[in-house]
Structure 1
């Protein structure tokens, strides 16, 4: 017999599997990106939580400051 706890556990497992599948799909697209596309994507993601700071000494660097 199914109880509510086992149903919740199965739903959590399914959600975890679906998250992994989405990550794998995203990774499969990674080789299709050019370097510029990848840099812009990283900039977009990072600026949502951290400021984007170009560095003249080593090209690009993302700030790791915590707010």
Structure 2
């Protein structure tokens, strides 16, 4: 399966007090989608006990064509 490394546009890191399990951070990264017309947003909750990750594509053209994982787009 062909993989494309996407270009990082923006990165934001916010500290979070957690939910009683200790401090952590929420990391949001915005990438340029493979066609260059939209964005792919990757969010990672790095909070003890509540780790989660989500990646979403905001480009209708690329949404149907690729599977996304952080900074990688894989042709379906």
Report the TM-score, using the length of structure 2 for normalisation: 0.22
Instruction: Determine which structure has the larger strand proportion and give its number.
Output: 2
> Greater relative contact order: 1 or 2 (C-alpha under 8 angstroms, separation 6 or more)?
2
Instruction: Determine which structure has the larger helix proportion and give its number.
Output: 1
